[in-house]
């Protein structure tokens, strides 16, 4: 089991190779039991969060990605463009610093920072307490910017309506195949930094094909936080989700 967060049964198995010793079956069983209890508790709290968000009629999105994908820049541009159209708030998740939260605060949107320390993801309990900072009766959209990580956040439901995975074209087009759980669990993939495509060897069509293999239901939008390309399609997607 991942000693930091206990995220994945597969990860637990990965570290338990047979090196000629008798397996410690009771210890392994205990690990799996603790992990299952951890996820079960998280799922109960996520259900509480989801019910609260539904009651308050708030669209909650869990933004996930690798470090450096441009999540924060995309979020900054989104908040600026939606100013006056929707009432937004942001929960910022990072292991250390409040750098991103300060960038978001500069947009004038309410923001709450969560530092996870050695933890590699946000969980439903953290989100539940972070929402106490906001006036939920006066919110339309709550963006949760998760810790930069395509593994652990995939397993943890926060009570969101959707995970939105941000993949930069400066990364490999095979990311959906390397991290299938994240892309399978997401409702939308934002292919960011497409303005850089003329300078890269990134295969856009291949990336989309890989993503389609992992999830036939994954919507894909090409965007650039720098130039604004494709952002209106992203905003129309948000409007559609708000109307559900």
pLDDT given for residue 63 in this prediction: 98
DSSP reduced 3-state for 190: strand
pLDDT given for residue 179 in this prediction: 98
Residue given tokens 């856009």 in the structure block: 204
Per-residue pLDDT of the chain (244 residues; tens, 9 = 90+): 454 454 543 333 333 333 344 555 666 666 666 667 789 999 999 999 999 999 999 999 999 999 999 999 999 999 999 999 999 999 999 999 999 999 999 999 999 999 999 899 999 999 999 999 999 999 999 999 999 999 999 999 999 999 999 999 999 999 999 999 999 999 999 999 999 999 999 999 999 999 999 999 999 999 999 999 999 999 999 999 999 8
The torsion of the CA quartet 131, 137, 143, 144, rounded to 10 degrees, works out to 10
**Which tokens in the block code for residue 109?**
């949107």
**Which tokens in the block code for residue 81?**
């463009």
**Which tokens in the block code for residue 227?**
């130039």
Q: pLDDT tens for residues 15-53? A: 333 334 455 566 666 666 666 778 999 999 999 999 999
Q: 163: which strand partners?
A: 62
**201-211: b (≥16 Cβ within 10 Å) or e:** ebeeeebbebb
Cβ count near 29 (within 10 Å): 10
pLDDT given for residue 27 in this prediction: 67
For residue 86, the number of C-alpha atoms closer than 13 Å in the C-beta half-sphere is 24
What strand order describes the sheet that includes 162-168?
111-115, 88-94, 141-145, 59-65, 162-168, 188-192, 219-222
pTM of the model: 0.87
For the chain, list the domains and their CATH numbers. 24-242 (3.40.50.300)
pLDDT given for residue 244 in this prediction: 81
Cβ count near 225 (within 10 Å): 24
Say which residues have a Cβ less than 8 Å from residue 95's Cβ, sequence separation at least 6.
115, 116, 117, 118, 119, 120, 147
For residue 180, the 8-state DSSP code is: H
């Amino acid at each position: 089991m991942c000693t930091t967060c206990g995220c994945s049964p597969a990860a637990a198995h990965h570290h338990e190779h047979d090196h000629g010793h008798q397996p410690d079956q009771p210890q392994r069983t205990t690990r799996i039991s603790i992990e299952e209890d951890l996820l079960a508790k998280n799922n109960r709290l996520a259900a509480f969060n989801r019910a609260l968000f539904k009651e308050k009629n708030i669209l909650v999105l869990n933004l996930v990605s690798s470090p450096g994908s441009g999540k924060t820049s995309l979020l900054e541009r989104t908040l600026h463009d939606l100013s006056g159209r929707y009432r937004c708030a942001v929960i910022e998740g990072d292991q250390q610093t409040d750098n991103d939260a300060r960038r978001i605060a500069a947009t004038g949107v309410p923001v709450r920072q969560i530092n996870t320390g050695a933890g590699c993801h946000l969980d439903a309990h953290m989100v539940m307490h972070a929402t106490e900072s906001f006036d939920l009766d006066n919110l339309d959209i709550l963006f949760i910017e998760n810790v930069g990580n395509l593994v652990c956040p995939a397993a943890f439901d926060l009570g969101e309506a959707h995970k939105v995975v941000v993949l930069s074209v400066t990364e490999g087009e095979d990311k959906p195949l390397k991290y299938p759980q994240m892309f399978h669990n997401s409702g939308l993939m934002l292919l960011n930094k497409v303005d850089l495509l003329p300078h890269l060897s990134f295969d856009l069509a291949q990336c989309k094909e890989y993503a389609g293999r992992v999830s036939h239901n994954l919507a894909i939008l090409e965007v650039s936080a720098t130039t604004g390309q494709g952002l209106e399609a992203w905003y129309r997607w948000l409007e559609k989700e708000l109307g559900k």
